[in-house]
Copies of this chain bind each other. A is one copy, B any other.
Amino acid sequence: MSLEKVSENKCFAGRQLRYSHQSAVLNCSMNFSIYLPAEAGSHKVPVLYWLSGLTCTDENFVTKAGAQQFAAQHGVAIVAPDTSPRGEGVPDDADAAYDFGLGAGFYVDATQAPWSQHYHMYSYICQELPELINANFPVDGQRSSIFGHSMGGHGALTIALKNTDKYQSVSAFAPIASAMQCPWGEKALSNYIGTNKEDWRQYDATELVAKAERQIPMLVDQGTADNFLVEQLKPVLLQQACDAAGYPATIRMQEGYDHSYFFMSSFMADHIAFHAKYLK
């Protein structure tokens, strides 16, 4: 598991770093970014994992979210992985559509050919990548939380709800609340996992809320002017699932905000402060 540094930039007195490595789980070379606050020079810091949405790489969040400021303020590291396996040998959607294949791993472990050779983003995010991070950087893996946007919000919620021993808190911006009940999720799950919908439940946040072994703190922000709100994201389904399960989530509708980083940056301070509270 050798790491190759791609870039390093000083940022808010800490370091914004980018690395490439060979992933055994994904069977390809992957890039990830990590921000280390200044404190990481003297002691281990807690770590936040960020999962991006459709079409993104590890770089969108790093350049657009304005998160380093708050990571520096609270003394937490932020790891931003890519959104799918990458490279010439990795199959893509037949039409190179934006919502499936490259840039659209959906944070699941694919079981169907040809996807099952590479598309294991679930295991990459909750096992291989944290092991790599914990072994190579001054972070305290016992203090980890996870958050994400859209497809990555779905990833953060499902991964956290299935691994409540591994994450102290979870948050999401405009998450796909129920992958089973929207066109993006139906396309991805039927191809990656197969057509038996029983198998899809393990990757659906609304299904997992009631099954969580521990009710870890959850914060969700959703813009009311988001073009994907009604057809794809459906936060009301997550709210209903939390209400039914007695899960004390904070799900906020933010008036007039859309699906962009302009929305996310506006509430980034809140999300990182939320996680920092449980990581300290």
Interface residues of A (CB under 8 A from B): 9-13, 16, 63-64, 66, 68-69, 223, 225, 256-258, 260-263, 265-266
A64 CB to closest chain B CB (Å) equals 5
Interchain CA distance A90-B237 in the complex, whole Å: 53
Are A10 and B256 CB-contacts (below 8 A) given A16-B262, A63-B63, A262-B16? yes
Does B265 lie within 8 Å of A66, measured CB to CB?
A: yes
Does A10 lie within 8 Å of B258, measured CB to CB?
A: yes
Considering residues A10, A69, A223, which has the most beta carbons from chain B within 10 angstroms of its beta carbon? A10
Does B68 lie within 8 Å of A10, measured CB to CB?
A: no
Considering residues A13, A225, A261, A266, which has the most beta carbons from chain B within 10 angstroms of its beta carbon? A266
Does A266 lie within 8 Å of B225, measured CB to CB?
A: no
Does A262 lie within 8 Å of B11, measured CB to CB?
A: yes
Does B68 lie within 8 Å of A265, measured CB to CB?
A: yes
**Chain B residues near A257 (CB, 8 Å)?**
10
Does A263 lie within 8 Å of B10, measured CB to CB?
A: yes
Which of chain B's residues has its CB closest to A64's CB?
B63
Which of chain B's residues has its CB closest to A62's CB?
B262
As for how many copies of this chain the complex holds, the number is 2
Interchain CA distance A261-B265 in the complex, whole Å: 15
Interchain CA distance A10-B226 in the complex, whole Å: 11
Partner pick for A263 among B11, B64, B265, CB 8 A cutoff: B11
Does B13 lie within 8 Å of A261, measured CB to CB?
A: no
**Chain B residues near A64 (CB, 8 Å)?**
63-64
**Chain B residues near A266 (CB, 8 Å)?**
10-13, 68-69
Interchain CA distance A16-B260 in the complex, whole Å: 11
**Chain B residues near A68 (CB, 8 Å)?**
262, 265-266
Which of chain B's residues has its CB closest to A255's CB?
B10
Partner pick for A66 among B10, B69, B258, CB 8 A cutoff: B69
Which of chain B's residues has its CB closest to A223's CB?
B10
**Chain B residues near A262 (CB, 8 Å)?**
9-11, 16, 68
Interchain CA distance A260-B68 in the complex, whole Å: 14
A3 CB to closest chain B CB (Å) equals 20
Does A265 lie within 8 Å of B69, measured CB to CB?
A: yes
